[in-house]
Amino acid sequence: MKKEIPDFHRFFWWIRNPNAINLDRNERDVILQVINYGGWRHWQWLVDYYGRERTKKVIREIPETAFMTRTLKLIKLLLGIKKLKYASRGDYIKAKNNL
C-alpha cells in the first residue's frame, strides 16, 4: 500500500509530483525536504511517521552539505545528533547523479 504525503507537506515538492512520492521508498528525500523547508509541525510529523531512531539514522547518512545551515544546528540539537557525514556540495551532486 502506497503511503501518501499529507496535504500540509505537498508544497515541499515543487520539483516533483507529490502523488508520485512513496514515503517509505523515498524516505531520504522526504526527510531532507521536510528538515530544510518545514516548520515545527512538519518536523513533528516526520518523527511521528518514521520514528526518532529511523529519522536520525537517515539524517546521519545524508551529507551535511545537503542541509540548510539554519536548520542543521536545530535538528542536530533536537535529535541529539553529534556528527554527520561530510562531503563537499560538488562531490554530493556528482555522487547523486552518478557522474
- Rounded to 10°, the helix 27-37/40-50 angle is 160
Domain-located, residue 1: no
Per-residue confidence at 86, pLDDT binned at 50, 70, 90? low
Domain-located, residue 2: no
Domain-located, residue 49: yes
How many angstroms separate the CA atoms of 67 and 35, rounded? 8
Domain ranges, residue 84: 7-96
Per-residue confidence at 55, pLDDT binned at 50, 70, 90? very high
Domain-located, residue 23: yes
Give the lowest-confidence range in 45-49, 82-86, 89-93.
Answer: 89-93
Answer whether 0.75 is exceeded by the pTM: no
Domain-located, residue 33: yes
Total number of domains in the chain: 1
Positive or negative: CA dihedral 86, 90, 91, 92: positive
- CA-CA distances (angstroms) from residue 25 to 2, 54, 79, 91? 9, 13, 22, 24
Domain-located, residue 70: yes
CB 50 within 8 A of CB 58: yes
